[in-house]
Chains A and B, each alone.
Chain A
Amino acid sequence: MKLLVAVKRVVDYNVKVRVKSDKSGVETAGVKMSMNPFDEIAVEEAIRLKEKGIATEIVAVSIGVTQAQETIRTALAMGADRGILVETDVAVEPLAVAKLLKALAEKEGAELVILGKQAIDDDMNATGQMLAALLGWPQGTFASKVEIADGNAKVTREVDGGLETVELKLPAVVTADLRLNEPRYASLPNIMKARKKQIDIVKPADLGVDVTPRLTIVSVAEPPGRKAGIKVPDVATLVDKLRNEAKVI
């Protein structure tokens, strides 16, 4: 079974982003970029399926600028077999990403596509769902456990009240939640080996997809700040403040 994983290059999760002074977006120049943490989990899950003999080949796909190749290299160093970069300077939205991934999933004959549940920059939490819709495949979003057997994926999902398990007939789309697994670090020998693995570069037009955004950014602003309040010396003062000053208890 061939597997596709989507990996996005995002501002590292440790970076506290700053809004640009002209309010056009956030400052990304000179900022550390990494693979979206949820996508590391997606890649790890794919590799485990290959180690179990369920997946035969893992193709890591990224959509974005030339430098997104580094993100693909990270996936290759973890254990993916080859990469595809859909190169574009446009800040592609989930709908366009889903259209590109659909074209690739069909071209590659993938039976399972694993994505992160959400990219930590734009926080849309949408691409996997949109991809499943376009392919007409079932979706297992926010997955904390995936078992593949007899042409089905049994997916345990993190939902508001706890956990839910669904069974999806393959082909299917799965999006990874935080507790699906703990991604491995790439070892040095594997990083070296990854340099020789193949990355194909295509353009959205090659896949017949128009990536023109549907949303335009009018402005990006800092959220209203919160001021640090006061330190209270003891429990009695705290309770008094909550009762008589804040009046919340």
Chain B
Amino acid sequence: MTSLVVLDFDATGIKQPARSAVAAAVKLGGEVHVLLSGTGIGESAAAAAKIAGVSKVLVADDASLTHELAETTAALVVSLAPAYSHIFQAATAAGKNMIPRAAALLDVQVISDISDVIDADTFIRPIYAGNALATVKSSDSKKLITVRASSFDPVAAEGGSATIENVTVPTAGTSSKYLSSELSKSERPELTAAKIIVSGGRGMQNGENFTKLIDPVADKLGAAVGASRAAVDAGYVPNDYQVGQTGKIVAPQLYIAIGISGAIQHLAGMKDSKVIVAINKDEDAPIFQVADYGLVGDLFTILPELEKAL
């Protein structure tokens, strides 16, 4: 039994969710190889070789693989698949885009967003916005899996000494072309890797209030900033801030929900946080049902006080 983990990485290095995906493979047992695809991978490959539990790093360096197009990456994964019993990637946007495509090409039913590994065939995955946990057993001879990163503690970034090997990249023509991206720039930690997250909802009223009231608190705490769907839809903050069933799934040490009512779709994305704080003027808001510490009151007076108290 040998697993292949497709790593998410960029110029800043290997992403933390990728090490959570490695943790899932390690939990399964057997040898763990990792794959880096794209261009200019050298430094990342060296970093990947140090990840605890990894025995081999595969490098696919080819211009066709930049921008993580699902079409070309899936073709690559399919070409490597014969050597592997399990293929994992974190359930990042890239993983969710590519892994099901590769699975279909292999005539395998993908197992999405697993939160635990039971044995080589059996996995747990949340369904219905996390309101139920299904234990599913796959009869496919090969498993293709995306991993809910917040459910697996990432393996250590250091401690391994894997070999590095270049692989041949199939010449898969594709009728898909990358044009551009518009990425949110932030000095803050990424939502999926942050230890503390401060999130705002519709109660924030506008984007300016995020900057004026939430950012200073987040800065003091070294926290990432998140949001509810309502806040994103209203244009207060960009889409990548969204936490929830259909946004990012997070489980930080501390999650502070401000002016967020606590709809099931929002809870689905944060209820596994270690400590939850809710600040809301409505003492009956459902968010208080999951909060360890609730503070009832007006966020416009509470946030400046909080910033001073930190």
A: which residues have CB within 8 A of B? Answer: 11, 13, 16-17, 19, 26, 38, 93-95, 98, 117-118, 120-127, 129-134, 137-142, 144, 154, 157-169, 172, 177-179, 213-223, 226, 228-232, 234-236, 238-239, 241-242, 246, 248-249
Contacts and interface: CB of A to CB of B under 8 A. Distances in A.
B271 interface: yes
A17 B99 CA distance: 28
Given A123-B126, A129-B101, A226-B290, A158 B110 contact: no
B175 A169 contact: yes
A150 to B, nearest CB: 13
Interface string B247-264: 010000110000000001
B249 to A, nearest CB: 10
Contacts of A246: 254, 274-275, 292-293
Contacts of B100: 94, 124-127, 129-130, 133
B133 A238 contact: no
B294 A231 contact: yes
Interface stretch (B42-50, B69-77, B152-160, B205-213): B69-77
7 contacts: A154-B179, A159-B94, A163-B183, A163-B238, A172-B175, A248-B274, A249-B310
B128 A238 contact: no
Given A123-B245, A229-B293, 6 more contacts: A17-B132, A124-B100, A139-B71, A161-B181, A169-B176, A223-B131
Given A120-B128, A226-B290, A133 B112 contact: no
Contact of B74 (A127, A133, A172): A133
B248 to A, nearest CB: 7
Contacts of A158: 93, 239-240
Contacts of B290: 226, 228
Contacts of A220: 127, 132-135
Contact of B176 (A124, A139, A177, A230): A139
B308 to A, nearest CB: 8
B176 A123 contact: no
A231 B296 contact: yes
B97 A229 contact: no
Given A133-B105, A232-B294, A123 B306 contact: no
A214 B174 CA distance: 29
Nearest to A139: B70
B104 A133 contact: yes
Contact of A126 (B112, B248, B274): B112
Interface stretch (B23-31, B53-61, B136-144, B161-169): B136-144
A184 B111 CA distance: 33
Contacts of A137: 175
B109 A138 contact: no
B134 A168 contact: no
B11 to A, nearest CB: 12
B181 A159 contact: yes
Interface size class of B (residues with CB under 8 A): 35 or more
Contacts of B71: 138-139
Contact of B132 (A19, A93, A164, A178): A19
Query: A-B pairs with the 4 shortest C-beta distances?
Result: A138-B176, A169-B175, A130-B104, A229-B292
A178 B232 CA distance: 10
Contacts of B122: 218
B229 to A, nearest CB: 7
B83 interface: no
A159 B248 CA distance: 10
Contacts of B93: 142, 157-160
B123 to A, nearest CB: 9
Given A161-B184, A216-B137, A239 B128 contact: no
Interface string B157-201: 000000000000000001111111111100000101000100000
B233 A230 contact: no
B277 interface: yes
A165 to B, nearest CB: 4
Contact of B295 (A26, A164, A232): A232
Contacts of B67: 164
Contacts of B265: 13
A8 to B, nearest CB: 14
Interface string B92-116: 1110111111111101111111000
A163 B268 CA distance: 23
Contact of A234 (B130, B264, B292, B295): B295
A39 to B, nearest CB: 13
B288 interface: yes
Contacts of A132: 70, 101
B138 A168 contact: no
Scoring A98, A221, A249 by chain B CB atoms within 10 A of each residue's CB, the highest score goes to A249
B291 interface: yes
A162 B246 CA distance: 14
Nearest to B107: A95
Contacts of A234: 295
A235 B305 contact: yes
A180 B292 CA distance: 35
